[in-house]
Amino acid sequence: MKAEIIAVGTELLLGQIVNTNARDLASGLSDCGVIVYYQTVVGDNPGRLKQAIADAYERVDLVILTGGLGPTKDDLTKEIVAEYFGKKLVLDQPSLDRIQGYFDRMGREMNETNKKQAYMPEGCIILENNCGTAPGLIVEEGGKIAILLPGPPKEMNPMFEEKVKPWLSGKTGSTIKSRTLKMTDIGESNMAAEVSDLMEGENPTVAPYAKEGESELRITAMAKTEEEADGLIEPVAKEIYARLGEYIYGEDDTTLVEALVKKLIEKKITISTAESCTGGLIASEITSVAGSSEIFGSGYVTYANSAKMKMLGVKDKTLADHGAVSEQTAKEMAEGARAASGADIAVSVTGIAGPGGGTPEKPVGLVYMALADDKGTIVKKLNLDGSRDKVRRRTVKYVFKMVMQRIDEKGDNK
């Protein structure tokens, strides 16, 4: 079934609120095997709303509308939909009683205008609102379906989950499922180039996405059941792992740092951090993961040279000969942090995050990162661009990738 979501509300058009309803409905609809082709936002304007509904039924057979079911004059969604389907609004006593009961419970007087909310298009399915006054409703006629839901997410979401979803899944008898493979160390275009043939597929589809220094491939299948969808997705996922497995660190909601901390815990590898330009960001990312205390005991933020020497034992001569932003300093920082913390692995970062501090030889974005473990110390050089914040955040990603690779080298990766 093809659907369009129409969110009604001038505050959306003015950008005063973000349209989370469209996101929540879209994600819920695809779970029911409904394909959302369009999302639309219109203001509380009768003419434009009427036109939007007419346009929608040119394109799809299911239209979900949120908002405009309130008691005030400019809440018109129900009236316009009834008019579109040529249905009269009739008083629904049970709805009126529920609204009355709602006000009684709140110890508030029911305003005359609230009665408006109890008038429903004749012959519609009424969706009780347990979180507010405005009932939702479903109108079905001539192959066209309109589902009207209240605008406040607190009212809309439970109504959709409890009443609309079961009704729709019954209609479609099908479901859509997605699986996302998340990668590092490969750009979106290079990744896409590796699987361009798979991206031609219809079911499942394969689509690439890029997010700050990471790339994703999303496999989406439509089927009668979840199991069937998984069956369609699995071989494609296998093929992608065969081609790009080395870059894949996790799936779906897993973040790189979560995948790393999980792996460190599994392998019982402890880690420490020595940070100059990232200034504690690496440590704060690691400790943002619940359970990280199992593998992280201490971190060193050594912004000043004196701190690098005092806390990490970086040699005066090293700083004098090579400077704070150098391969040698990064190496001594990592080794110093490992010695001071007693951790299995220590990582270090020293660089120029900018916007100031750059020189022709050592420009903004120059970062050295090092990793010290029982096998020795590796140092990597990065040349990043972008804002101070971006340089710092991307450095953190590169550090996590470096650790990932290093511990994957250490024997098997189960």
Question: Please, which of residues 125-184 interact with its own copies by CB under 8 A?
Answer: 131, 152, 154, 176, 178
- Can residue 33 be called a binding residue for its own copies (CB under 8 A)? no
Q: What are phi and psi of 377, to 5 degrees?
A: -130, 130
Interacting positions 223-262 with its own copies (CB under 8 A): none
In this complex, which beta carbon is closest to its own copies, that of residue 11 or of residue 227?
Answer: 11
Q: How far is the CB of 212 from its own copies (least distance, A)?
A: 7
Pick from 1, 50, 55, 83: which binds its own copies (CB under 8 A)?
55
- Taking alpha carbons only, the member of 224, 222, 217, 294 closest to residue 249 is 217
Q: Which residues contact 96 (CB under 8 A, 6 or more apart)?
A: 115, 118
Pick from 88, 91, 128, 193: which binds its own copies (CB under 8 A)?
193
Query: What 3-state DSSP class applies to 15?
Result: coil
- Taking alpha carbons only, the member of 93, 146, 152, 140 closest to residue 118 is 93
- Can residue 114 be called a binding residue for its own copies (CB under 8 A)? yes
Which residue's entry shows tokens 């639309």?
40
Pick from 166, 231, 245, 297: which binds its own copies (CB under 8 A)?
297
Sign of the alpha-carbon torsion through 246, 251, 254, 255: positive
Amino acid residing at 320: A
Q: Is the peptide bond before 46 cis (omega within 30 degrees of 0)?
A: no
Q: For residue 74, what is the DSSP state?
A: T
Pick from 306, 321, 409, 413: which binds its own copies (CB under 8 A)?
306
- Can residue 79 be called a binding residue for its own copies (CB under 8 A)? no
244, 191 in Cβ contact below 8 A? yes
Pick from 70, 121, 204, 336: which binds its own copies (CB under 8 A)?
70
Pick from 93, 242, 290, 361: which binds its own copies (CB under 8 A)?
290
- Can residue 356 be called a binding residue for its own copies (CB under 8 A)? yes
Helix (H) / strand (E) containing 168: helix 165-172
Pick from 1, 125, 311, 378: which binds its own copies (CB under 8 A)?
311
Pick from 8, 32, 42, 183: which binds its own copies (CB under 8 A)?
42
The token pair at 100 is 């009355």
347, 404 in Cβ contact below 8 A? no
Q: For residue 203, what is the DSSP state?
A: S
Q: How far is the CB of 143 from its own copies (least distance, A)?
A: 20
Kindly indicate which of the ranges 87-95, 101-109, 136-144, 221-229 contains the residues binding its own copies, using the contact rule CB under 8 A: 101-109
Pick from 92, 214, 258, 275: which binds its own copies (CB under 8 A)?
275
Kindly indicate which of the ranges 69-77, 83-91, 315-323, 327-335 contains the residues binding its own copies, using the contact rule CB under 8 A: 69-77
Interacting positions 358-387 with its own copies (CB under 8 A): 365, 382-386
Number of residues that bind its own copies (CB under 8 A): 113
CA separation (Å) from 396 to 46, 90, 284, 407? Answer: 51, 61, 10, 17
- Can residue 203 be called a binding residue for its own copies (CB under 8 A)? no
- Can residue 119 be called a binding residue for its own copies (CB under 8 A)? no
Pick from 160, 249, 300, 400: which binds its own copies (CB under 8 A)?
300
Beta bridge partners of 400: none
Query: What 3-state DSSP class applies to 272?
Result: strand
